[in-house]
Structure 1
């Protein structure tokens, strides 16, 4: 397995960042090198890298000083600068600033039973050459919540849960309002929700408080020990929208569902996101399975089946145009666990399915 695990009782954010650096400084540096290569491939000029990184770090410091302190701890422990860690955390924002709209990306599903915890599952699809340097972390936030999350080394957050019964899935979006200067990184928004939110309303308030320059959708699910709830928070510089489930099922891929925000959609009509969205919705019975592994296996749907939910890289494409399902994960709010397979849904087996 290439996913490192980090568990700490450290409550000081800068010290926690330094601990992450001690665990995987080489992984952080490798991710930065990989993203600089990606930025160059999509047309970002080298002279703008420091500018973008500095803007991201400044926006984060103004919005969440604690997360900025953790990021600076990682920087100090890896021998990198603050702006370089800002650049890494703003990888979504940098790509949005130059209009780099990708074809492949994540698919998320949440089923709400009549009683019991929501049943969430997703693929995390990204460039196949950025596969090796990933992290699962567990710690206690300033609010006293035990948080578990998955991310790329050096980035503040992505997919996760906290022990208040809140989980979060993460998908990228693209909107005509995406721009520079760089705002609060959306990965930091996801992490702040995991650190502090216990309800969907709190998650929406946190997301709305961030001045972002790029788009994302944060699918938040909650469980109070009796009943569950879920909503997609579509976020872009033009504003946010909350999309609820239809008949107990909530699906999101990589296009805006809210009709107002969809007016600024950048994904072309030929993009796979629309077919993936429709196909995952058709899998209602499978993604409603109470067994998290069976939900993950349900996403083993390929282009030949009608939609590339399980994404395989095309060796004929350049690295910036190749995507792969690098992680398959399900959130278990009832038992406060993340389940995951290190790879594509079609490779999920009992022996490859792990809890964190």
Structure 2
């Protein structure tokens, strides 16, 4: 089984860190940008429209977190792209929301708490199979001295990850009727700022609520003290605590809103109701998802049911923009400030396929 490439930055300053990353991973960033341009075009947006939306995202980022905009600019300088082009991959969720693109990938997340131990977590990361070579693992230290490790895509400042303060984030896409084309702060950058600055659930919640967003996502924040799902959308940020599914000490999430108020504006679940069946599958496997062995947890999560596969296999008969695949399985160890990552589908997990980062 192949492993994801990994990189450790030596520069703590945002611009320098970005330039170093862009110089080292320039080919990967450019390939990821080209892959997204292809996807955006299939969804109805040519380069001119993408540039317009990406520049809005960059302006919103600069107003909300100037250091993150500086880091995007550094990556662009290092790899020979324009800042808007790197902003486009960071804002890919926002651009797809603006285009009202359907068929987003189907990630599933499970977190099980236990007294006196680190939470047991696992999630699938499903996305378009033509972008399967985009992910990588990135370790860096912020200029404030916070250590961060993230599973992300080339050029994207963060996605799923853990920091040295004992906090981690899982990441699932959502879609809400309030999503709109006046592009705001990218949700991936909300996750990055949480990883870079937060040490508690409350700090993470404040950061999420401070951003003006235009697209939806759930960031599940995990600490030694507990877990909280932050359902982010333009209509607000919903907070879902462990036990919301009626199972004590357990927080499960797929791709629909659980907050009762925000659920009234659910958009993705109306198109892809399999998300509800996947959540029921996780609920039925809650005991297995608490197993101390990560490979056993992945096995408990695995499901190939036609209506709601937790392990996604691409259908070669579909157009590329409607195909997705489980490209990674990730678990966070917030106590150790580390992740374990499997490259490939959930049904391919074995004890020897985990990569510790």
Shorter-chain TM range is over 0.9
Contact 2:13-2:142 at 8 Å conserved across structures: no
Residue in 2 that maps onto 1:283: 285
Q: Which moved more, 1:342-351 or 1:118-127?
A: 342-351
Alpha-carbon shift at residue 318 of structure 1 (Å): 0.6
* Residue matched to 1:254: 255
Q: Report the counterpart of residue 313 of structure 2 in structure 1.
A: 312
The equivalent residue for 1:335 is: 336
- Give ranges in structure 1 of 5+ residues lacking alignment: none
SS of the counterpart of 1:264? coil
From the superposition, tell whether residues 60 and 270 of structure 1 become closer, same or farther in structure 2 (CA, over 3 Å): closer
Distance in 1, matches of 2:185 and 2:40, equals 19
Tell me the secondary structure at the aligned position of residue 3 of structure 1: coil
CA–CA separation in structure 2 for the residues paired with 1:77 and 1:46: 21
Which residue pairs with 2:229 in the alignment? Answer: 232
Does 2:124 match 1:123? Answer: yes
SS at match of 1:303: coil
- The aligned counterpart of 2:209 is 208
Do 2:3 and 2:342's aligned partners in 1 also have CA atoms closer than 8 Å? no
Normalised TM-score (structure 1): 0.96
Match of 1:244 in 2: 241
Q: CA deviation at 1:270?
A: 4.7
CA distance in 2 between counterparts of 1:160 and 1:233 reads 15
After superposition, where does 1:49-88 map in structure 2 within 5 Å? 49-88=50-89
Alignment of 1:105-254 (within 5 A): 105-223=106-224, 228-246=225-243, 247-254=248-255
Deviation of the 1:117 alpha carbon: 1.3
User: What CA deviation, in whole Å up to 9, does each residue of 1:122-155 have, x standing for no partner?
Assistant: 0000000101122211111233221100100001
Structure 2 CA distance for aligned equivalents of residues 123 and 7 of structure 1: 24
Given that 2:138 and 2:149 are in contact with CA atoms closer than 8 Å, whether structure 1 keeps it comes out as yes
- Between the aligned partners of 1:178 and 1:288, the Cα distance in structure 2 is 34
Partner Cα separation in structure 2 for residue 263 and residue 66 of structure 1: 35
Task: Give me the whole-angstrom Cα distance separating, in 2, the residues matched to 1:234 and 1:101.
Answer: 19
Give the 3 Å change call, closer, same or farther, for CA 269–57 of structure 1 in structure 2: closer
Gaps of 5+ in 2: none
8 Å contact kept, 2:21–2:75: yes
Q: What's the TM-score, normalizing by structure 2?
A: 0.95
Secondary structure, counterpart of 2:340 in structure 1: strand
Task: For residue 352 of structure 2, give the secondary structure of its aligned residue in structure 1.
Answer: helix
Give the Cα separation in 1 of the matches to 2:255 and 2:320. Answer: 20
